[in-house]
Amino acid sequence: MLQTSERVYRNLSVTQLIEHSIRRGEGVLSERGALVVDTGKYTGRSPKDRFIVRQKSIEDKIFWGKRNVPVEEKVFERLYGKVKEYLSDKPLYVFDGYVGSKKEYRQPLTVICEQASSALFANQMFIRPDADETGDFEAGYTVIAAPGFKSEGIKDGVNSEAFIIINIDEKVILIGGTAYKGEIKKAVFTMMNFLLPMKGVMPMHCSANIGPDGRTAVFFGLSGTGKTTLSADPARKLIGDDEHGWCDEGIFNFEGGCYAKVIKLNRDKEKEIYNAVRFGTVLENVAVKEDGSCNFDDGTKTENTRAAYPIHHIDNVEENGQGGNPDTIIFLTADAFGVMPPVSKLSTEAAMYHFMSGFTSKVAGTERGISEPVSTFSACFGEPFMLMNPVVYAELLGKKIRQNNTEVYMLNTGWLSGGYGKGDRIKLKHTRAAVNAILSGELRCAEYYEHPVLGVKIPKKCSGIPEEILDPRSTWKDKELYDAKALELAERFRMNFKRFSSVPKSIIEAGPRA
């Protein structure tokens, strides 16, 4: 595939990759031994620079649009050739591993990196082969990460110096111009979201854990809504923090690590994540003090500071990365309007509606150009990574919910009392209390009433949450303004949902009423 120099370092140990990274000037060690790297200009994903190669085999399967932008094969081939030439005389770092902890559905993966720190990232994020699997490893998809190569933008058929191109037929993911390592992870996730539905498996942008009773829960939500924080529960085993598949036998983690946001990381509030940041962890764009300690409160570089660590850095994990069919699903949204209740319950149809809507507020730094929360709709709570029509994923979800009698709840981890800039963000302790009430079974038999505009069911009581904030309207001084904002948000839902065709009436009617 690549004509390279003899300096190809394949499957080096964590210690070796860290040594190479430091020697090459890619990063420094923090006081606790984590490798701290600066990703330069790109401190978050660059969604406008992600492309799918248009091919006859996938033409009618892709949900083309502003998220899934097509590029012709000749553009891919030209850039592919340029990248191969660029890398031909450079040392390369190669990781061989898997995506998917369940062998029936896992995908072999080879990641070829210009940077040793990128290979370390891949080693920590994906599933590392067992000792008896390395000898006859055969790659499925290949990721090539060349951050030092910058395209000529429009002249090369892309938008800027950075590009992420997924070629389904060739099984190649080509990344250039950006050193943000999350592009590797999310491009692979995108590929899995295309492959698995054709096998009857529901791919999910979610975290998951399992309780002492063996019951599994999954948490859907976009970056910054609390998936990682809320699923890292010392009382429950973590299955994974971001990407999973749901097959007939249950769920399975795609990854072998976690990629947590660490801006304002607090040792007391997020003990599990804080303790995971140690030797072997890759920290992106985190400020380091003179004594080598990390200043997690410093968002000067970006609010999207990240930590990539192997899942075994969390003390309480499900080692095989698998769990049973979930009896609980929790949607997480950070509502900047201040309209959504802290906790609510959804019918199956409402769950499908809100899953397809994927309402939240993008938080600062997750994508380039975002400096404060912006309300958005991201289908399936991960639209940038879903190549098929959202209806395909929603139908899979509805089928799984009905087959397993799964209950679905929605938590607002955003604002109340007037919304962003006026009111307060919902306290983490109250969100944790809601999660505990859900997982303990308390809210299964609670008394509910229906929100007149949103249509969701709000519990009259929930242990650990003040009753006066369960109803978001009661937190607003100006009740009429709340009503107006609720109608405004409902209209946004309605307008967004117009882009979906062939949706059953029962699902549409389960959404907010403008």
- Would you call 227 a catalytic residue per the annotation? yes
Burial of 364 (0-12, 13-18, 19+ CB in 10 A): middle
- Would you call 413 a catalytic residue per the annotation? no
Buried b (16+ CB within 10 A) or exposed e, 270-305: bebbbebbeebbbbbbbbbeeeeebebebbebbbbb
**Which position among 186, 362, 451, 457 bears the catalytic label?**
186
- Would you call 103 a catalytic residue per the annotation? no
- Would you call 185 a catalytic residue per the annotation? no
**Which position among 223, 302, 366, 378 bears the catalytic label?**
223
Residue ranges with strand state E in 398-512: 407-412, 448-450, 457-459
**Which position among 106, 181, 205, 430 bears the catalytic label?**
205
- Would you call 430 a catalytic residue per the annotation? no
- Would you call 289 a catalytic residue per the annotation? no
DSSP string, 48-112: GGEEEE--TTTTTTS--SSSSEEE-HHHHHHHHHHHHHHHTTS-EEEEEEEE-SSTTT-EEEEEE
DSSP state of 133: G
Q: For residues 259 and 242, give the distance between their C-alpha atoms in angstroms, rounded to a whole number.
A: 8
**Which position among 227, 313, 362, 430 bears the catalytic label?**
227
In what side-by-side order are the strands of the sheet with 306-310? 27-29, 35-37, 282-284, 306-310, 257-261
- Would you call 205 a catalytic residue per the annotation? yes
- Would you call 306 a catalytic residue per the annotation? yes
**Which position among 49, 233, 241, 242 bears the catalytic label?**
242
Q: For residues 202 and 223, give the distance between their C-alpha atoms in angstroms, rounded to a whole number.
A: 20
**Which position among 101, 228, 366, 406 bears the catalytic label?**
228
**Which position among 20, 45, 237, 244 bears the catalytic label?**
45
Give catalytic residues, as residue numbers. Answer: 45, 186, 205, 223, 227-228, 242, 306
